[in-house]
Chains A and B, each alone.
Chain A
Amino acid sequence: MPRLGPTGMLRWAWRQLTSMKTALQLLLLLAVAAVPGSLFPQRPANPAVVTQYIQDNPGLGPWLDRFQLFDVYSSLWFSAIYLLLFVSLIGCVIPRAVQHWKALRSQPPRTPRRLSRLPEYGTMTVAADTDLTPGRAIEDAANVLRRRGYRVQLRDTGTDLPSVAAERGYLKEAGNLVFHTAMIGVLVSIAVGGMLGYRAQKLIIEGEGFTNAELGYDSFFPGTNFNPGALVPFSLTLNDFDVTFDRNPASYGNPIDFTADMTVQDSPSDTPRQETLRVNEPIGFGGTNVYLIGNGYAPEITVRDGEGNIALQGPVASLPTDATYNSTIVIKAPDARPDQLGFVGFFLPTAMVDEDGVAFGSDPDPYNPQLNLNSYTGDLGLDDGNAVSVYQLDTTELTQLNGRDMPDGGIVLGAYQTYELPDGKGSITFEGLKRYVALDIVYDPGKAGALVFTTLALFGLIITLTTARRRVWIRAGQHEDGRTMVEYGLLARGEDHSLAKEAIRIGSALTAHWNKANDQNRQATP
């Protein structure tokens, strides 16, 4: 192996990286590398499932985590593959673009000496009495080629053996370059969206509202370079949320319509307007869109404490766990005195009782709404300033009052019922029922660019895969006996399955042209 030196090594590495073979291998590697993301739960999509997975698989889980298999698409190895692929792509596209730019401004290459060596070759002999000179024949040929969309150049016109060189299909390479360049554009757009955009979640109960501000969100995921100035000061109120379930026996209980009736304001100074938010139909506020992502029930609860005061009053959102909207619910009353109160349990829209006496939900509509709760008393852990999810209650430090295994049993509350807690700790009342919507608020400034570049890529792809790049040379000469001899040769550049057909078409056009010219000639001079 020859010594290359550092620059030689670099040049060698660069040439390897930008070679078609490497690009192909990186492409296939990318396909393989994308697969694990569909086999293991992914943090960006579902962090809770990942935590659960690691807990359930204490041996394997941490190892998978070490190799970033729960963050495949932001992992070091996945990024390495696609970045290398894009470097290879850029290293390939730039020289090709330069070359194509030169090709666009240059004439078709010189006529080969032996056309018979080309993949498609043919000869034509025109009778002597037609007075077709070789020069005239080449002009005719050039016209035929021009009409077929070729760039044409006449050669050796003054000589005995004039010829025409022609090339077509420059768009094939142009389309190819557009496609690959657009791929870079897509990647950049994704990066721009990821850096400058944000995504947030907000849950809104019927009758409540929300003003777009960072503090108002339930959760907020800004991009790395997000500028809070990009927040549009819109506000919205959920007036009513309508859900329709399928009542056909065969598909009973499937949702068929979610409609949120909203009052929205683009900014505090704008007049409010009515909008309907539905799945697939987001509401837009100048680049920031609001999407209907989920929904559920929010039972209206009143908790009275041991001193008889109201410690909590209002709707509490429950989280659906299945298609029947059987939901988990956590109720916290930190204002209860003398002791704080907490409740954990289920909400069932239509409660039934099975043979074992266990309540279960049988319908997603609230025909027999019921709360099944355990109750706790003690320090709920909300006062020390640590962020705690409103949907979770850590009961390890609390004293349980109610439960299936407790002497007083669990709390079962139907609509408008009240339950008195044991030991005079207070009471809980199921006052009514509201629905809520879970909204995603998204600002992605890279979105439009991604659309433009993918559209460009698609057009480039269509053009490059449907255009054939071909070269044709036709040469003419005079035989000693006066006949005009014409020969042609065709060469494809790249994939071309109908080169033979093209040769036949050109030959037919020339034959027809000269026959017709000659017939007219003979009729004119009988």
Chain B
Amino acid sequence: MTTVNETLGQYSELFMLLAALTYTVSFIAFAADLVRARKVTTAPAEPAQEPALAAAGTLGTVQWSHGSGAGKANNHNDAVVDDAMGYKALRRPAARIGVAVGILGLVVHAAGVVTRGIAAHRVPWGNMYEFTTTGAMLVMAVFLTALLFRDLRFLGTFITGLVLVMLMAGAIAFPTPVAQLIPALQSYWLIIHVSVAVLSAAIFTLTFALSVLQLAKTRQEKSGKPRTAGLLRLVPGPVSLEQLAYRLNAIGFILWTFTLMAGAIWAEAAWGRYWGWDTKEVWTFVIWVVYAGYLHARATRGWDGTRAAWLSITGYLCVIFNFAVVNVYFPGLHSYSGL
């Protein structure tokens, strides 16, 4: 019979605290970046980009010119970001600090999660405190990974702010000492089902932020204010936000489908039925259907754009509800909050 390592558990809590402090610095830096960008003046837009790759021929044998369909390049002269999420050359020292400190925070945070797991001799997602801290880590990791592909630093304040809230919620609302798992959770499906669930929730977090900003930008454009106004200056236009949100939601939906399947297989092994409309199952189903609706909406005339964004937001609110309210307040077979 294994026992828990309490000293290591205390170190884990210390790491979590240090991670929260580091994220605070990152949050302030990202906020400074948004504030500073309001006043930056940009040079007039450069001429529309010809594919520089065209001049590849050694002796100019082949001349190549490529253009995306006429009238599609929607470059505003005074904007710092175009509709393909490409940024103009713009020095953003605060954002760089935000990312660097954020990476440091993630390393410390990961140390906290890993030591928690070692202390308990199991994966560190067995109760509400652990779902929250591990989930926050994945939100940050997904965000930093996304930065490798797209310049999404305009989301920095939202993501670091949310991660901070999650760490605080874990420490204040759901504190749970390191403990062994109850028999119902002793299954390798815990590793598979819960990790994928938390990962897809982390991706939905990102798309939620994108969809909210999409609505804000749409509103701003409709109101006729200059695109540069206010704190949203660094935020790209609604079309590019919607496209990115769709791609991420598609990945999130695949992972959520897998979560649902893995949960059903586990439920079959534990309770003898793969689906029984337990409250947690109901809400997992509701979330799945809402995001399925989102994917259909994107292909339905009159439902893309703002309406699809609202569906994406609704889906995420259901995710939050399923996590924070159903886990804690709804009686059911999934009552593992440890509270």
The residue in chain A whose Cβ has the minimal distance to the Cβ of B311 is A28
Known interface pairs A246-B180, A250-B178; A280-B269 also in contact (CB < 8 Å): yes
Contact B253 A250, beta carbon cutoff 8 Å: no
For window 173-193 of chain A, which residues contact chain B by CB distance below 8 Å? 190
Q: How far is the CA of A246 from the CA of B182 in the complex (A)?
A: 9
- Asked if B296 contacts A440 (CB within 8 A), the reply is no
A457-B299 CB under 8 A given contacts A291-B270, A515-B56? no
Asked if B64 and A123 make an inter-chain contact with CB atoms under 8 angstroms apart, the answer reads: yes
**Nearest CB to that of A455 among chain B residues?**
B261
Contact assessment for B253 and A465 in the assembled complex, using a CB-CB cutoff below 8 Å: yes
- Whether B66 pairs with A122 at a CB distance below 8 angstroms is yes
Residue from the list A24, A38, A244, A511 in contact with B64, Cβ < 8 A: A511
Question: Given A120-B68, A280-B183 in contact, is the A251-B177 Cβ separation under 8 Å?
Answer: yes
Report the separation of the CA atoms of residues A497 and B269 in the bound assembly, to the nearest whole angstrom. Answer: 41
Interface: A503 (CB within 8 A)? yes
CB pair A497 B247 closer than 8 Å: yes
- B53→A508 contact, CB < 8 A: yes
Partner of A30, one of B61, B70, B289: B289
Minimum Cβ distance to chain A for residue B69 (Å): 4
Does A400 belong to the interface (CB within 8 Å)?
Answer: no
Instruction: Decide yes or no whether A121 CB sits under 8 A from chain B.
Output: yes
CB contacts under 8 Å to A, within B272-307, are: 272-279, 282-283, 285-286, 289-290, 292-293, 295-300, 302-303
Q: Which of A159-167, A252-260, A301-309 contacts B (4 or more CB under 8 A)?
A: A252-260
Q: Within 8 Å of chain A (Cβ to Cβ): is B103?
A: no
- Please determine whether A244 and B1 come into contact, CB atoms closer than 8 angstroms: yes
CA A278 to CA B269, docked complex, whole Å? 10
Q: List the A side residues contacting B273 at CB < 8 Å.
A: 199, 442, 444
Q: Using a Cβ–Cβ cut-off of 8 Å, how many residues does chain A contribute to the interface with B?
A: 80
Q: Looking at the complex, which one of B268, B285, B293 makes contact with A34 (CB distance below 8 Å)?
A: B285
B57 at the interface (CB under 8 A from A): yes
Contacts of A126 in B (CB 8 A): 61-62
Query: Mask for A502-522, Cβ within 8 A of B = 1, else 0?
Result: 011001101110110011001
* Residues of A469-526 contacting chain B, CB below 8 A: 494-495, 497, 500, 503-504, 507-508, 510-512, 514-515, 518-519, 522
B189's closest neighbor in chain A, by CB?
A280
Min CB–CB distance A288 → chain B (angstroms): 10
Which of A20, A256, A454 sits near B296, CB closer than 8 Å?
A: A20
In Å, the complex CA distance between A190 and B60 comes to 66
Residue A62 interfacial (CB < 8 Å) = no
Note all chain B residues with C-beta closer than 8 A to A190.
275
- CB of B230, distance to nearest CB on chain A (Å): 28
**In the complex the two chains form, what is the Cα distance from A59 to B63 in whole Å?**
82
A415 at the interface (CB under 8 A from B): no
Q: How far is the CA of A494 from the CA of B300 in the complex (A)?
A: 11
Q: Find chain A residues with CB under 8 A from B326 CB.
A: 38
Q: With A280-B269, A465-B254 as known contacts, state yes or no: A256 contacts B183, CB within 8 Å.
A: yes
Residue of A nearest to B260 (CB): A454
Asked if A98 is at the interface of the complex by the 8 Å CB criterion, the answer is no
Q: How long is the Cα–Cα vector from A518 to B6 in the complex, in angstroms?
A: 72
A406 within 8 A of B: no
Residues of A within 8 A of B179 (CB): 246, 248, 250-251, 254
A214 to chain B, nearest CB (A): 18
User: Taking the nearest CB of chain B, how far is it from the CB of A222, in angstroms?
Assistant: 15
On whether the beta carbons of A280 and B186 are closer than 8 Å, the reply is yes
**Chain B residue at minimal CB-CB distance from A36:** B282
Q: Is B264 an interface residue (CB 8 A)?
A: yes
A20-B299, A37-B282 as given contacts; A123 in contact with B65, CB under 8 Å: yes
- A292-B254 Cα distance, complex, nearest whole Å: 32
Do residues B254 and A34 form an inter-chain contact, with CB atoms below 8 A?
no
Contact B276 A45 (CB under 8 A): yes
Is B51 part of the binding interface, using a Cβ–Cβ cutoff of 8 Å?
A: yes
A23 within 8 A of B: yes
Q: Is B330 an interface residue (CB 8 A)?
A: yes
B67 touches A442 (CB 8 A): no
Whether, in the assembled complex, B72 has its beta carbon less than 8 Å from a beta carbon of chain A, the answer is yes
Q: Does A125 contact B (CB under 8 A)?
A: yes
> Which single residue of chain B is at the shortest CB-CB distance from A179?
B257
Q: Is A282 an interface residue when CB atoms closer than 8 A count as contact?
A: yes
Find the residue from B182, B254, B278 having the highest chain A CB count within 10 A. Answer: B182
Residues of A within 8 A of B269 (CB): 280-282
B215 CB-CB contact with A under 8 Å: no
Considering the complex, give the chain A residue whose CB is closest to the CB of B307. Answer: A24
A35 at the interface (CB under 8 A from B): yes
The answer to whether B268 touches A447, judged by C-beta atoms less than 8 angstroms apart, is: yes
B87 within 8 Å of A (CB atoms): no
0/1 interface trace, chain B 240-268, chain A, CB 8 Å (1 if under): 00010011001101100110010011101
Is B181 close to A, CB under 8 A?
yes
A-side contacts of B270, CB under 8 Å = 279-280, 291
Question: A503 to B67, alpha carbons, bound, how many Å?
Answer: 9
Q: How far is the CB of B14 from chain A (nearest CB, A)?
A: 17
- Contact status B183-A279, CB under 8 Å: yes
Contact A495 B299 (CB under 8 A): yes
Please report which residues of chain B, range 1-36, place their CB below 8 angstroms from some CB of chain A when the two chains form the complex. 1, 3-4, 6
Q: Is A352 an interface residue (CB 8 A)?
A: no
Pair A34/B261 contact, Cβ less than 8 Å: no
Query: B250 to A73, Cβ gap below 8 A?
Result: no
A442 to B276, CA, bound (A): 13
Cα distance A518–B58 in the bound complex, in angstroms:
10
Task: State A246–B176 Cα separation when bound (angstroms).
Answer: 15
Alpha-carbon separation in the docked complex, A280 to B61 (Å): 69
* A122→B261 contact, CB < 8 A: no
Contact in complex: A125, B72 (CB < 8 Å) = no
Contacts of B180 in A (CB 8 A): 246, 248, 251, 254, 256
A residues within 8 A CB of B62? 124-127, 510-511, 514-515
B77 within 8 A of A: no
Is there an interface contact between B246 and A495, defined as CB atoms closer than 8 Å? yes
Residue numbers in B under 8 Å from A293 (CB-CB): 271-272
Q: Does B187 contact A (CB under 8 A)?
A: yes
Are A291 and B282 closer than 8 Å at their CB atoms?
A: no
Chain B residues, Cβ within 8 Å of A116: 70
Interface contact A504-B53, CB-CB below 8 Å: yes
Q: Which residues of B contact A421 (CB under 8 A)?
A: none
A518 and B286 contact, Cβ closer than 8 Å, known pairs A120-B68, A447-B268, A454-B261: no
A451 near B: Cβ within 8 Å? yes
B40 at the interface (CB under 8 A from A): no
A-B contact pairs, 23 of them (CB 8 A): A37-B282, A44-B277, A72-B277, A120-B66, A122-B65, A122-B67, A123-B65, A126-B61, A246-B180, A248-B179, A250-B6, A254-B182, A256-B183, A442-B272, A447-B274, A458-B257, A495-B298, A497-B246, A504-B66, A507-B66, A511-B53, A511-B54, A515-B58
- 3 nearest interchain CB pairs? A250-B177, A251-B179, A122-B66
New contact pairs (9) apart from A21-B303, A251-B177, A466-B250, CB-CB < 8 Å: A35-B282, A72-B277, A124-B65, A255-B183, A279-B183, A282-B269, A440-B271, A511-B57, A511-B64
